[in-house]
Amino acid sequence: MQHQSNTHTSVNPIPDFDLSKHNTLALPSKAEYFCRYKSISELLNLLAYANKEKLNIKILGGGSNMIVQPEVKGLVIQSAMTDVVKLSENDDSVIYAVDAGLTWHDWVLKSIKFCAYGLENLALIPGTVGASPVQNIGAYGVEVCQAIEEVRGIQISTGQWMSFSREQCDFSYRDSIFKKQFKNDFLITQVIFKLSKVFRPQTSYAPLKQMAEQFLSTTNVDANENAKSLSAQQVADWVINVRNSKLPDPQIIPNAGSFFTNPIIEKPQVDELLKQFPTMPVYPVANSTGKLVKVAAGWLIDQCGWKGKSLGLAKMHDQQALVLTLKPGASQQDLLSIQQAVQADVMNKFGIQLRPEPQPFY
Ligand SMILES: Cc1cc2nc3c(=O)[nH]c(=O)nc-3n(C[C@H](O)[C@H](O)[C@H](O)COP(=O)(O)OP(=O)(O)OC[C@H]3O[C@@H](n4cnc5c(N)ncnc54)[C@H](O)[C@@H]3O)c2cc1C
């Protein structure tokens, strides 16, 4: 289907729109044009307008995973659509269609209220539902792809409505088809989730395991009943507590969460490094038949002395070396300087190339 203009809905893009409060790094930036849409007909009108005016479409969610550049050319659009619709259910599972504009954490809390499980470990990740498949958000042993059934939206270059099954999304660690073939060319309007009616706690991640063991040791139930006595809200609360204790609140200290992805490297290189650095934390990579290993980027940065260290108006966070924070008045250049200095030190010490997780938005 081609973009169609709907004369009943007007389009009012705002020129020279200040994006500094719309990105969690609080970087100074102006969008050539900006508009939020509240319905599919408004969205189609915006796409038609951009087509007519020859403006590139740029998609903004919560701005929590991007390095916004000083000038963003074209028309920045943001979804204000937040509906959740139950599509179907059976004895074991329930399927919901969730609009892209809903805040991710609100959806996690809603799903728990609906007694639909699988998202608890992903509580408090900033951003929107629409962005969640883009980098296959993950935390505390769970990735969102485990709960995604389908992703729906519009291909920007053709105006075609499209739908991707979980397999077609080509999900992997912090990656999906929306960062590859469809990078900047697919507007996600809805994500379809398949959630379980039975709560199965995922507490393999060390701090959660500790909290679960502590909690269960105080309850008077036998071992087989233990797992059943945990609630999804309880696990979400633990995740929220751990995150609050480790990660700076972007409202107070501008940041984009983990700034670098954990590097994935070949096993022989890791084996060599482990001879020199036996305490280096490494994790197996799923489906790599043992050939690839993930290394904890935060540990590498910490070992290079960057934890709590500043450069200009940028700093690697005191509690978590992987989080790059910015001070008031910081610019894109401050960010780039510390990024490059950290990358160079990690390369010199370990021979490993760190790659930023947030992508430039321009
Ligand atoms: C304090 C903090 C903690 C974090 N912790 C985690 C974590 O534990 N795990 C994790 O995986 N991430 C984490 N992140 C990163 C971030 O929250 C996620 O990547 C989130 O999904 C980004 O959502 P957003 O709406 O802010 O996306 P944005 O930053 O607005 O956009 C990110 C990218 O997705 C694209 N995009 C956004 N919406 C759409 C859409 N509807 N259709 C198509 N493309 C779209 C944008 O164009 C851009 O390329 C953290 C960030 C912060 C600040």
What DSSP designation does 120 have? G
Predicted confidence at residue 222, as pLDDT, reads 58
d(CA 234, CA 231): 5
Residues 133 and 218 occupy one common structural domain: no
Residue nearest to atom 39 of ligand 1 (CA): 131
Q: pLDDT by residue (tens digit) across 117-172?
A: 999 999 999 999 999 999 999 999 999 999 999 999 999 999 999 999 999 999 99
Predicted confidence at residue 286, as pLDDT, reads 80
Q: Return the C-alpha torsion angle 307, 353, 336, 143, nearest 10.
A: -80
Does residue 304 lie in a domain region?
Answer: yes
Does residue 4 lie in a domain region?
Answer: no
CA of 105 to the centre of ligand 1 (A): 12
If one residue of 134, 258, 326, 335 were mutated to test the ligand 1 pocket, choosing by the most ligand atoms within 8 A of its CB, it would be: 134
CA of 61 to the centre of ligand 1 (A): 7
Residues 226 and 294 occupy one common structural domain: no
CA of 185 to the centre of ligand 1 (A): 16
> Pocket around ligand 1: residues whose beta carbon is below 6 Å from it?
24, 59-66, 79, 100, 125-128, 130-132, 134-135, 137-139, 186-188, 247, 250, 255-257, 359
CATH number at residue 280: 3.90.78.10
Number of domains in the chain: 4
Active site residue 174: yes
Any residues with CB less than 8 A from the CB of 86 and at least 6 apart, and which? Answer: 94, 95, 96, 114
Residues 95 and 190 occupy one common structural domain: yes
For the CA of 189, the nearest atom of ligand 1: 41
The catalytic position among 204, 258, 331, 337 is 258
Does residue 7 lie in a domain region?
Answer: no
Does residue 19 lie in a domain region?
Answer: yes
Give the pLDDT band of residue 236 (cuts 50, 70, 90). Answer: very high
Residues 238 and 294 occupy one common structural domain: no
Cα distances from 304 to residues 73, 256, 297, 350, 352, in angstroms, run: 37, 21, 11, 10, 12
Predicted confidence at residue 1, as pLDDT, reads 39
CATH number at residue 113: 3.30.465.10
Residues 264 and 357 occupy one common structural domain: yes
Is residue 148 within 8 Å of residue 170, measured between CB atoms? no
Helices (H), 202-266: 206-217, 223-229, 232-246
Global pTM? 0.94
Lowest pLDDT segment from 14-18, 216-220, 308-312: 216-220
* The domain boundary residue, chosen from 61, 79, 97: 79
Does residue 109 lie in a domain region?
Answer: yes
Any residues with CB less than 8 A from the CB of 83 and at least 6 apart, and which? Answer: 97, 98, 99, 102
Predicted confidence at residue 4, as pLDDT, reads 43
Does residue 328 lie in a domain region?
Answer: yes
Predicted confidence at residue 296, as pLDDT, reads 96
Residue nearest to atom 36 of ligand 1 (CA): 131
Residues 53 and 106 occupy one common structural domain: no
Residues 25 and 101 occupy one common structural domain: no
For the segment 31-40, the average pLDDT, to the nearest whole number, is 98
CA of 134 to the centre of ligand 1 (A): 8
Residues 301 and 219 occupy one common structural domain: no
Is residue 343 within 8 Å of residue 297, measured between CB atoms? no
**Which of 247, 172, 243, 173 shows the shortest CA–CA distance to 205?**
243
Which DSSP helix (H) or strand (E) runs through 315? strand 314-316
What DSSP designation does 101 have? T
Residues 57 and 95 occupy one common structural domain: no
Does residue 189 lie in a domain region?
Answer: yes
Task: Domain of residue 231: give its range.
Answer: 206-245
Does residue 131 lie in a domain region?
Answer: yes
Active site residue 152: no
d(CA 157, CA 184): 10
Q: pLDDT by residue (tens digit) across 54-72?
A: 999 999 999 999 999 999 9
CATH number at residue 23: 3.30.43.10
Residues 190 and 220 occupy one common structural domain: no
* The domain boundary residue, chosen from 56, 79, 102: 79
Residues 349 and 292 occupy one common structural domain: yes
Residues 53 and 157 occupy one common structural domain: no
Predicted confidence at residue 213, as pLDDT, reads 87
Predicted confidence at residue 2, as pLDDT, reads 41
